[in-house]
Structure 1
Amino acid sequence: MRELNTQGLDTPRGYRVLRLLQGSIADANADLVVISTHASKSYRPSGAALRSLGYPEGLEPERLTPVFLLEPNELMGTYLLPEREDPATLVLRIPGRDNLRGDVDELEVYERGAWAVYSALAALELRDRGFARVASTVLGGQRGFDPRETLRVLMHHAQRWLEHSRYPRQVDLVLHEPEHLDVWAQAMDEVLGREAYDVAADAVVSALAEELLARLEARRFDDPEVEAKVGEPIRAVLAPEQRNELRVGRLAVPGRILAESVVYRVEKCHGVKKLGAGDLYWRIERLPGFGVEPWIVQHLHALRVYGNEGVHFKGMDRALIARDLPGLLASLLRVLLYWSDTL
C-alpha cells in the first residue's frame, strides 16, 4: 500500500490518524474493511472491491446481514459479510448513478451512504464490536465527483468518528486505481486548508530541509515500523522535486509518531511497566526524571502539538501554515539527532 497523505487528531482517548492510501483493499492492514456495491434488486452484489476480496462473480444477497438500512423496504444501507472475520467486512449498498430516481442530488446520496457506514460502526460498538483499524474504499466507485468533494464527505465522517469513538486508532481511505494520485493527495491538502510553500524561498528552511533529508538518507531507522511511518513519509515530502510546493501538514503526523517513538524507547530503557500508557503530554513531562535534557523535552512537545493538526489552540489557525515550517523542521532534526545519538 502506498501512503499519499495523512492527518493527525489528538482526542481524549489518544492520538488518531487518517490516511489516504493507494492499493488493493485486500492488502489493507485493518480489523475491518469497508467496501461498496450497487443496491439493485435485479443483480447480485458485485464490483471491483468484491473481486479483490475473492468474489469474482459477486455474491448472493442472502449472505449479507443488515446492520444499518436507510430506507424501509429498500436495499440502501450497510451489511456485514459474516463469513469474513479477519478482517471483518462491512458492505455499503448504494444506488448506481443510473439508478437514481427523480430529482435526486447524487452527492447527497453519496453523503448519506458515508453517514450510513459510520452509523453502522457506532451501532456495532454498542454490540461491543469495536475496531482499532478501519480501511475503506472511497465508496461508490468514485462516481466521477471532484476528488475534493469525495474527500470532504469521507473525511468529515471519518474525523468525527475518530474524535468520538472509543476504539479506533486509524482510518485508511484506499484508492484502488493508480491514476491521478497527485490530484487526490493535493485534494486532501485542500480539504484540510494546507498551504503550499516553496522551500527555496527561505535559506534557513532550505538548509534545515537539506540536512534533515541527508540524515534520513544516510541512516534508516532501526525499527521497521518507525522507518515506514516516519522515515519514508518525510523523505517523500522533502524530495527535491516536491520542495516547490511543500505542504507543511504532511510533516506533522510523521513528526508526532517520531515523538511518540522516542518517548516509548526512553520509557522502555528505564523499565516503565505500562509502556505507551497515558497522555503524551505527561509522558513527555516526566522525561527529565529519566535524564532527558529539557531542550529535547521542548522539541518533543513541539512535535506533539504540530502533529495534532485538527485541534490547535482555541482562537488560532487550525491548519499548519508556512510560518510553522522552520520550527517543525528544527524540532524534527533535533529529535532525529537525539534518536541517532542516544537511543
Structure 2
Amino acid sequence: MAATMKNVEEIRSHVILEEFGVRNVHTTDFPGNYPGYDDTWNMQEFQKSFRIDVVNLNENSMEFDMVGIDAAIANAFRRILLAEVPTMAIEKVFIYNNTSIVQDEVLAHRLGLIPIKADPRLFEYKNAGEESAEEEASEIDTIQLQLKIKCSRNPRASKDSSDPKELYLNHMVYSGDIKWVPIGNQADVFADSGIGPVHSDILIAQLRPGQELDIIMHCVKGLGKDHAKFSPVATASYRLLPEISFLEPVEGEKAVRLKSCFSKGVIDLEDVHGKKVAKVVNSRLDTCSREVLRHPDLKDVVKLGRVRDHFIFSVESTGILPPEVLVNEAIKVLMSKCQTFLNELNSVDME
C-alpha cells in the first residue's frame, strides 16, 4: 500500500516528459480522482503549501512563482489579467479634419490601440446608455485628448535635399503629439499624474504639406474582454517548473554531450577526482526540448518532468500600470468572483 500511495503522489505532483509523449497528465485534482487515495481538500494543508515568490521585477515586467494551486485557478488568474483588469483607452474619436491618406476608420482604430497612461482606479465606468456627443463627457468617467497638427514645407531646407525630414515640418505624426485636455476639475485633481500616451514614439500617420489632422478623443474605462485595447498586459503567461534528475552519475564525454542538450545555465560540469561530472544547476531555465532523449546512451540516465502545482508566471505590462499593481488588481477581481459565488450559494440555501 505504501508503494501505491507513493506512486499516486508522484502522479499527482509531476508530469513526466517521455521520448514520444507525456505521462501523468491530468486535467483536475478534484477529490476522488484517484481510487484508494485520500486526496480530500484541506484548508490547513493548502495554506501551508501555497505561496507566491517574486523572482524578477522591473518597470514593465514581472516574473513570479505561484506554488500549491490547481491549473484551473492558475489559468483563471491568467485570464483575469488579460481580460478583466480595467484600464482607460480611447473609445470615441471625433474627427473634425483629416486630409491625410489614412482613412478615418483606420485612423480611429490606430488611436484606440495606443496605451493611455491613466490610473483607471480613479475613474468610474461610463454608463452604456449615455449619448456619444462630445458635450456628454464628464470629469469622473472621461479623459479628453486632442491631436491637432498640420504639415508644412521647411523654408530653411536645402534646395537639393530629398529627405522628407529636412523638407517638411510635422510630416511624421507620433503619439507624443497627442495632448491632454482636462475636463472640469481634472487639471487640479490629476495635476501630477502625467495623463497621456504611455509611449511618445508610436507612429500614427505621415503627412505632406497642406495635410492636417484635427481630432478630439475620449478615453473611458473598460475591460479587455470587451475590446483588446483595454487589456492592461502585452503578455500574461505561465509554465510549469521543469524538473531534471539523473538516474545515475554522468561523467566524461557523456557529461559534455548532456550539457549541450539543454539550455544554457541548466547543466554544469564539476571536477570530481579529475573527472567531469554533470550536475543540475538551474532547471527553471530549461525549455523542455527533450533533445537529450534523442541520444540512445543518455535517454535512460535522465528523467525529465515538470512540477504540476508550481507555475512560473510572466507578466508584461503595456505601461499603463506597473506589473505588481496589475497582479494585485487581478487578485482582487478573483476574490470578488469568489465572494459573488458564495453569495449565490447562500441565497440558494436560504430559499
Q: What TM-score do the two structures reach when normalised by structure 1?
A: 0.23
Give the structure with the higher percent strand: 2
Instruction: Give the number of the structure with larger relative contact order, counting CA–CA contacts within 8 Å between residues 6 or more apart.
Output: 2
Larger Rg: 2
Give the structure with the higher percent helix: 1
Q: What TM-score do the two structures reach when normalised by structure 2?
A: 0.23
